Structure 1
Amino acid sequence: MSQQRWSEACERNRAPILAVLQRHLHDRRRVLEIGSGTGQHASYFAAGLPHLHWQASDHPDHLPGIAERLAEAALPNLPAPWPLQAVLSPHPGLAPLPTPRPTFDAVFTANTLHIMSWAHVQALFAGLPAVMADDARLCIYGPFNHHGAYSSDSNRQFDAWLKARDPEAGIRDAEAVDALAAAQGLQLIDEVAMPANNRLRVWRRG
């Protein structure tokens, strides 16, 4: 029985995201995707960015379905997914990291920050220096608030739904995320408005 999951949102947002990634990742070589979910983004972006080695990763429970989808894609730049997640112990960061630990000149994650607790968002950023090369890019897609204000009524309703499901989830404030990024040597270089009141935000390390 297939273990693949499906996201209609991934199908809707993948082309606009790819257009931005093609601009920012044209000179990159190795990308780590954190929280690959269904694997739909990984297979689509690896096809659209054939010069990139696209490394998908997620919680171990999600890997069988992701691996199945990536195997169907059969792309030479799309290896098997890694088990990887933001952890709080024994110290905040990303784990488990393979040995020897590779470095990436880009990191991508989509629709993850608002479903994680804030402590896990902090852990994700704390773990980035361990996987990012100097001058690496960080690309994050999803909904953001600015100065505590919702960008739309639909995002306000979505945030209420998230918090009802998990009180520790919720749409993150862009300025708070920028502070986490700055603490890891990352500077915001672009923010692109995307469909459905989302944003694609890009930082540069160094």
Structure 2
Amino acid sequence: MTDPKPWTIADAAPGEQRHAPATERNRDAIVAILREVLPDKGTILEIASGTGEHAVYFGMKFPDLAFQPSDPDPACCQSIVAWTKREAVTNVLPPKQLDAQAAQWEVSKPAAILCINMVHISPWESSIGLFKKAGGLLDQGAPLYLYGPYLRAEVETSPGNLAFERSLKSRDLRWGLRDVADMDELAMRSGFARERLTEMPANNISLVYRKHD
């Protein structure tokens, strides 16, 4: 079996699994947080699953949970299917073609929602949609987990993240690193409160929000 190619949406062939190299570098650190955050049972909805590597890895690490991956791009959904078959995981459901900004999410009620590396590679409206829909889907106390690079007023931004920010803006002016304070404000308006912030590898952050009354 040939190794999957580095992932770019533009050259993804039908049915081909794609590879995002950062996944292998961050997945175990993310799993360590999820072990403390995820419920013992239920379906975990992942928004913007990309290649599907995280969803499949999480499925292997949490066999008592079901994982519902999703992505707006058909090539990503095909990659998710291919990775699921490659690793023969049985608790990763077929992907949903879903956009965070969509008026409706055609998904079953989740026990938690994950969103990894979407917020900075999408318009702000996608984050608004994420929190709004999560607020309508999750029960009180259920977690919404975010991972990625973020800005903080009290913390100097690393040179690598500043360069990444410039790269994002050169691709789409609507993209860019978001401030944690703005995420907290959006969360509050959507019925969530931040439970924890954890420093992660390569100047990334884990943010855990909980639904409240």
Partners of 1:42 and 1:72 in 2: CA distance: 13
The Cα shift of 1:150 comes to: 4.8
Alpha-carbon offset, residue 67 of structure 1: 1.1
Q: Quote the sequence identity (%).
A: 34
- For 1:53, the equivalent position in structure 2 comes to 66
Aligned CA distance change for structure 1 residues 105 and 26 (closer, same or farther; 3 Å) = closer
Q: CA deviation at 1:148?
A: 8.2
Q: Give the match for residue 97 of structure 1.
A: 105
With the length of structure 1 as denominator, give the TM-score of the two structures.
0.90
Question: How far off is 1:112 after superposition?
Answer: 0.3
Quick one: structure 1 residues 132 and 202, their matched pair in 2 at CA, closer, same or farther if it must change by over 3 Å? Answer: same
Tell me which residue corresponds to 1:8.
Answer: 21
Q: Tell me what 2:84 maps to.
A: 70
Which sections of structure 1, spanning at least 5 residues, go unmatched? Answer: 88-93
Q: Counterpart of 2:208 in 1: which secondary structure?
A: strand
Q: What residue is the counterpart of 1:90 in the other structure?
A: none
Per-residue displacement from partner, 1:112-150 (whole Å, max 9, x unpaired)? Answer: 000011122212222212322222101000001012865
Q: Provide the C-alpha distance between the structure 1 equivalents of 2:202 and 2:158, rounded to a whole number of angstroms.
A: 9
Give me the TM-score of the superposition, normalised by structure 2: 0.87
Cα-Cα RMSD? 1.7
Question: 2:194 matched to 1:188?
Answer: yes
Secondary structure at the aligned position of 1:31 is classed as: strand
Which is strand-richer, 1 or 2? 1
Q: CA deviation at 1:161?
A: 0.7
Distance in 1 of aligned mates of 2:167 and 2:122: 14
**C-alpha deviation, 1:65, in angstroms:** 1.4
2:124 counterpart of 1:118: yes
Equivalent residue runs for 1:103-142 within 5 Å = 103-142=109-148
Letter in 2 for 1:127: K
